[in-house]
Structure 1
Amino acid sequence: MFTTSTRLLTFAAAALAALSTVNAESHTINFDNKCGSGTPTLVQGGKILSTGKPFTSNGPLTSAIAYLQTGSCGLNGEGCTLIETTLVNPTSPGSGSSSDISLIPPHTFSVTSGFHYTNGCDGAGADCTKPDCPTAFHVSTDTDKQVACQTNDVDLTITFCD
């Protein structure tokens, strides 16, 4: 026969086991390079995270950048079309993921580039097909160019030459 303290211990153990199986935050960036050349590059804090293979962050991915390395891009995408992203589960309204395309100097149009969210906010994204594309930052005050997503564990696909 179970005593009250045995039942409490059993309940506590079951609750702890349930909590330990909860999935942690995760975000994956996939690349679709249709250019036929160049290397998709994902960088965070000066460290290359991927050169074309899918990259999964087990937790928030903040202040990451991506570009197609054609041989003329600097480590931080200088001289190329830049995709900027922060993928994070929202903790309050407006605090989730945000991505954009940047052509703020020293970045400049190099190849058609775009992104779209998957696994939530499907269809939300932006494409830049020419140097004066209206969907890209050209100056730092172009904040209306950011594309937000308020979904947990959202992923991002970045496409070049589409």
Structure 2
Amino acid sequence: MFAKTLALFAGAALVAAESHTISFNNRCGKGEPVVFQNFQQLNSGGGSYTFNGPAPAVIAYLQDGSCGASGENCSLMELTLINGGVSSADVSLIPPHTYSTPVGFAYNNGCDGQGKTCASADCAEAFHVTDDYGAQVQCTANDVNLQITFC
């Protein structure tokens, strides 16, 4: 019984230790990078944000005053960062999202340097329609982080 209880607590500690950070490099000289999940902004002042656990269904974009609350009318990053599964990130230009600024991303702390950059409205590296699956970059490393660069 003691061994089972100890194993349960050890497993819980491993789950609780999961961590992912989204950081930004805003080279545009304007705007504020934002992170949203479940329609709530998570970061303030354009700073990085750390999830203490999995980070499913997250969006990020450069709020320059022209973006809607869900990134409408702007270049949008979509991402899920998770241990024990597949993390995924992509740039979405699927309407109502449109190209507004160059954006790129790269994983670090695992899958280092893997990512994509979208530098024009017709970039092949972004989702333009829902089945542009080649736009996704996946990673299976635990505690992977993401660096997002604007401009």
TM-score, L = length of structure 1: 0.84
The structural deviation recorded for 1:21 is: 6.4
Aligned residue-pair number: 145
The structural deviation recorded for 1:145 is: 1.1
Q: Specify every segment of 5 or more residues in structure 1 that has no aligned partner in the other structure, as ranges.
A: 1-8
Structure 2 residue aligned with 1:42 = 35
Is 1:88 aligned to 2:96, yes or no?
A: no
- SS of match in other structure, 1:50: coil
- SS of match in other structure, 2:42: strand
CA RMSD of aligned residues (A): 1.8
Deviations 1:91-143 (A, max 9, x none): xxxx3200000000000000000111000000100100000000000000111
- SS of match in other structure, 2:148: strand
Structure 1 residue aligned with 2:110 = 120
Structure 1 residue aligned with 2:130 = 140
The structural deviation recorded for 1:54 is: 1.4
Q: Counterpart of 1:62 in structure 2: which amino acid?
A: P
Q: Specify every segment of 5 or more residues in structure 2 that has no aligned partner in the other structure, as ranges.
A: none
Q: Counterpart of 2:53 in structure 1: which amino acid?
A: G
Q: Counterpart of 1:79 in structure 2: which amino acid?
A: N
- SS of match in other structure, 2:67: coil
Q: Counterpart of 1:63 in structure 2: which amino acid?
A: A
Which one has a bigger Cα radius of gyration?
A: 1
TM-score, L = length of structure 2: 0.89
Q: Counterpart of 2:95 in structure 1: which amino acid?
A: P
